[in-house]
Amino acid sequence: MQSTMQKLRQLNLSQYVVYIGFLLIFLFFAVTLGNDGFLTQRNLTNIVLQTAPITIMAIGLVFVLAAGEIDLSFGSIVAVAALGSAVVLGDYPLFVGVLAGLGIGLAIGFFNGVLVAYLRLPSFLVTLATMGLFAGVARSMTDLRSVPVLNESFVNMFGSGSLFGVPSLVLWTIGAVALGHFVFRETKFGAHVLATGDNARAAQVTGIKVPHVRLLVMMICGGLAGLAGLLYAGRLQAARYTLGESDLMTVIAAVIIGGTALKGGKGTIIGALVGSLMMGMLNNGLILMGLSVSDQMIVRGVIILIAVAISLRDVNN
């Protein structure tokens, strides 16, 4: 009895907020928008497809936050990687274009990581600066012009294609979540990320290579932002400097609501997935309700505030 009580007390609410919130929002839209096409298979599939880049970015952010750092620059990385890849695809075959996109993401992540891990500059300031810097790079790369992606296999692979009837965007989501979850939960590296974010000094004295961990999480986040850029370019069949521009809040909200601690030491990839699906559903429902863009932003902001407040409640006391 006693131990059951103890266990109950140790279960913190924040872990389940995302699942409850997801269900509540789903039910709300199912009831209010059931006749407006919310429940159609097409619409539900669409939500998942639209959420794919958000989920991929969220996975990277879970690693970064769990390690006690933050990355604000991933939105800009998305744009630079998508544009870089699209430009390269104009002249080179598929795999060169893919490598360009992922390489750009990893390289920017490396740049962030070196500043954070080895020069010990605060990641908030570093990535705030690189967010602006690479947003500028994205604008100047093609003079604000969007670049069409005509490579069909690229569009199949990262956009409209499917394998055995499963849309490729869904496959990318499942693959990234599965791999991310495995690395985060089941490997030494994942444990070291959590320890670093929890108590960097403790991690250090027990022999964990803390700077190494910090560099790697920034690179993971950059690399995944690069992948998100490819997914955007594939789905829209074009790359543009605005890609990823407005995803910062959505991704951070998805991750925090999902149960990852802003102060490090705690995180969950599955939670981030559900959080990001919840954000996608919210977007979709608000549009179907016929809200104006400004009203959508307000309602979304309020709902995120409520969800984040509940998620962080037990951290504060």
Partner 1 sequence: MDLSNTQAADVLQLTNIHKAFGGVVAIEDFSLNLKAGEIVALVGDNGAGKSTLIKIISGVHAPTSGTIAIDGKETSFKDATEARASGIEVVYQDLALADEQAVYMNMFLGREKTKGPFGQLDRKGMVQETEDLVKELDVRIPSAKTTIRNLSGGQRQGVAIARATHWATKLVLLDEPTAALGVAETAKVEENVAALKERNLAVLIISHSLDQVFRLSDRICVLRRGQQIGVRETAKTDKNEIVSMITGV
Residues that bind partner 1 (CB under 8 A): 3, 6, 10, 182, 185-188, 190-192, 194-195, 198-199, 201-208, 261, 265-266
How far is CA 250 from each of CA 72, 162, 304, rounded to the nearest angstrom? 12, 26, 9
Write down the least CB distance from residue 12 to partner 1, Å. Answer: 10
**Tokens (6 digits) for 161:** 């294609």
- The nearer residue to partner 1, 159 or 259, going by C-beta atoms, is 259
Asked if 36 and 288 touch (Cβ cutoff 8 Å), the reply is yes
- The nearer residue to partner 1, 21 or 190, going by C-beta atoms, is 190
> Please, what is the angle between helix 94-117 and helix 123-141, to 10°?
150
Write down the least CB distance from residue 6 to partner 1, Å. Answer: 6
Tell me how far apart the alpha carbons of residues 19 and 9 are, in angstroms, rounded to a whole number. Answer: 19
Which residues lie closer than 8 Å to 63 by C-beta, 6 or more apart? 180, 184, 193, 217, 220, 221, 267
- The nearer residue to partner 1, 12 or 296, going by C-beta atoms, is 12
Write down the least CB distance from residue 49 to partner 1, Å. Answer: 30
Write down the least CB distance from residue 206 to partner 1, Å. Answer: 3
Any idea which residue has 């879970």 for tokens?
Answer: 62
Write down the least CB distance from residue 178 to partner 1, Å. Answer: 12
Write down the least CB distance from residue 208 to partner 1, Å. Answer: 5
Side chain identity at 90, as an amino acid letter?
G
In whole angstroms, how large is the CA radius of gyration of the chain? 20
Tell me how far apart the alpha carbons of residues 150 and 145 are, in angstroms, rounded to a whole number. Answer: 16
- The nearer residue to partner 1, 4 or 41, going by C-beta atoms, is 4
- The nearer residue to partner 1, 194 or 239, going by C-beta atoms, is 194
- The nearer residue to partner 1, 96 or 191, going by C-beta atoms, is 191
Tell me how far apart the alpha carbons of residues 161 and 154 are, in angstroms, rounded to a whole number. Answer: 9
Write down the least CB distance from residue 202 to partner 1, Å. Answer: 4
- The nearer residue to partner 1, 159 or 190, going by C-beta atoms, is 190
Stretch (H or E) spanning 147: strand 147-148
**Of 22, 11, 6, 32, the residue nearest 254 (C-alpha):** 22
